[in-house]
Structure formats: structure tokens, C-alpha cells
Structure 1
Amino acid sequence: MECHSGCGACCVAPSISSPIPGMPQGKPAGVRCVQLDPAGRCRIFGQSGRPAVCSSLRPSAQMCGDGRGHAMRWLAWLEQATA
């Protein structure tokens, strides 16, 4: 499955505990990653500095649904369920 254009939910909704370039302490859930560009794309996609959790998260119909709103809700639920 391809990402929905401009979504970026996976770069906002989940917490990331590992360092991100520009965010050495990671980021809390609900905070926009500094590597998310204005078009909703990851600036470090495919680069070695990208956290492993980001590389392992793949778009799916269950997660992405019909767009950003669904993805934000699903990822927030996942964040809470795994806290």
C-alpha cells in the first residue's frame, strides 16, 4: 500500500523513544517530528539516521484507512494500547 499523499500521521501520532536528527531525545506522542516537511513527507526517509521504529512502520489499510483522520485515530489507539 502507498502512503496517502500529505498524511504524515505516522510522524505525528506515535511517540518515538530513539534519537531523531534534530530531536535527540525522540518525541512524545502527538508532537510533529522535525523531519516531517510541509508536504507531509519524511526528510530522512531511507537514510541511516532514521529511527528503526519509523523504518519498520509500513502503511496498511488497517492503519491508514481512508486518510489522515483515520490514521491519527488508529495510531493514537495503538500508542495507548502499547503504553
Structure 2
Amino acid sequence: MKNFVLTVSCQSTRGIVAAISSYLAEKGCNIIDSSQFDDLDTGKFFMRVSFISEEGLSGADIDAGFTSVAAPFEMDYEFHDS
């Protein structure tokens, strides 16, 4: 199993957490820690998700399909190998 961290920022709107968690589940990942918050002054959303790839996928494999999740929310994101 490989451990990763995903960091995300974008404009706050409904459905971001659901989209991220659904994507990770579809990729065979298990979220082990998640923190998110909204900056009410700027309307920005921030999230940090630690997860395990139970399928043994590489960070590049997980990152490759994430564009379709990120695009509708105009997310800035990075995957990090922990």
C-alpha cells in the first residue's frame, strides 16, 4: 500500500468533498485523514486528504484521471507521495 496526500483549493461550492471522496474510492483508495475549511472572507475552499492506495496505484496513476474531477470546480491541486 502506498500513502499519499492531496491538497486542494478552489472557490467554495457544494459537492467538492463528495467528488473527491468518490473519485478516490473508485481508484481503490482509503481516506485515512481529511481536513477542510472555507475562508468566508474570500469564498475559497481548502482541503487536505491523506489516503492509502489499496490497489498499489502510483501517484501518477491517481493524478491522471483527477483532471475530470478538478475541472468543474476549477481546482488547484497537488498529489504528494507521503
Same fold (TM over 0.5): no
Q: Normalising by the residue count of structure 1, what TM-score does the alignment of the two structures yield?
A: 0.32
Q: Normalising by the residue count of structure 2, what TM-score does the alignment of the two structures yield?
A: 0.32
Q: Higher relative CO (CA 8 A, sep ≥ 6), structure 1 or 2?
A: 2
More strand by percentage: 2
